[in-house]
Amino acid sequence: VAQRIPTATVARLSRYLAVVEGYLSSSISSEDLAVRAGSNSAQVRKDMSHLGAPGTRGVGYDTEKLVALIRRALGLGAERGVVIVGAGNLGRALAGYPGFARRGFRICGLFDISPGLVGIDIAGHRVHHLSELDKVVTNPVAAIGVPEEAAQSVAELLVAVGFRSILNFAPILVEVPPSVEVRQVDMAMELHILSHRLGRAEDELD
């Protein structure tokens, strides 16, 4: 009975997947999974109920089935392609991310416009010129790792050639049609949140 899965659950599924794939036994209890994923058992069970995962009372969840179910819920039928735009430090860091394959992704394109970068190899992938972006075939997710000034035009190009999912690391809000999903990863925002809490701790005077 796989219905709509709450986004909060989807975010946790990602972590569950990593835990379960690295788990040795053939079944795992909600408590065990929770501890390893930094959650709690009630939460895990609720999430599993959204997944429609079949647990065995007194035992736990079958790890193999769980992996398959989570992968399916995460849209990782076979493997999901990732295109990286920008071959500077950020693009390299992304391309060099070791967990791609393990977590269900495959780099299917690395693009830049700088003549000094096009043609070189990074982490085993040739950098192509951005003008060849439309050659990408599967239905991939794109990661934008270019400087702020270029991010909006890169986003527009991505949309123009058919991308519907964009992960933006540039610290600006890119505008895209509503049919395109964008997720923003903003280091400054994360730092601000931490700083806010530090500030509250420093006060101690509520």
List contacts with DNA (CB under 7 A): 6-9, 29-31, 39-43, 45-46, 48-49, 53-61
> What does the CA dihedral 54, 69, 35, 43 come to, rounded to 10 degrees?
-70
End-to-end CA distance of the chain: 47
To the nearest whole angstrom, how small is the minimum distance from the Cβ of residue 166 to a copy of itself? Answer: 8
**β-strand partners of 110:** 84
Among 58, 99, 115, 116, binds a copy of itself (CB under 8 A): 99
Query: Which parts of 128-157 interact with a copy of itself (CB under 8 A)?
Result: 139, 141, 143, 145, 147-148
C-beta closer to DNA: residue 93 or 189: 189
Question: In degrees rounded to 5, what are phi and psi of residue 134?
Answer: -70, -5
Q: Decide which of a copy of itself, DNA, none touches 188; Cβ closer than 5 to 8 Å per partner kind.
A: a copy of itself
To the nearest whole angstrom, how small is the minimum distance from the Cβ of residue 185 to a copy of itself? Answer: 6
| Beta pairing class for 80-85 and 60-62 | unpaired
The whole-angstrom separation of Cα 70 and Cα 23 is 14
Is residue 105 near a copy of itself by the rule CB under 8 A? yes
Is residue 160 near a copy of itself by the rule CB under 8 A? no
The whole-angstrom separation of Cα 16 and Cα 33 is 7
Query: Which parts of 176-195 interact with a copy of itself (CB under 8 A)?
Result: 181, 183, 185-195
Return the amino acid letter for 109. Answer: G
Question: In degrees rounded to 5, what are phi and psi of residue 85?
Answer: -105, 120
Is residue 34 near a copy of itself by the rule CB under 8 A? no
To the nearest whole angstrom, how small is the minimum distance from the Cβ of residue 71 to DNA? Answer: 18
Among 69, 73, 97, 64, residue whose Cα is nearest residue 11: 73
Structure tokens of 7? 């986004």
To the nearest whole angstrom, how small is the minimum distance from the Cβ of residue 67 to DNA? Answer: 15
To the nearest whole angstrom, how small is the minimum distance from the Cβ of residue 22 to a copy of itself? Answer: 10
Structure tokens of 205? 């005077």
Q: Decide which of a copy of itself, DNA, none touches 30; Cβ closer than 5 to 8 Å per partner kind.
A: DNA
Among 28, 37, 117, 146, binds a copy of itself (CB under 8 A): 37
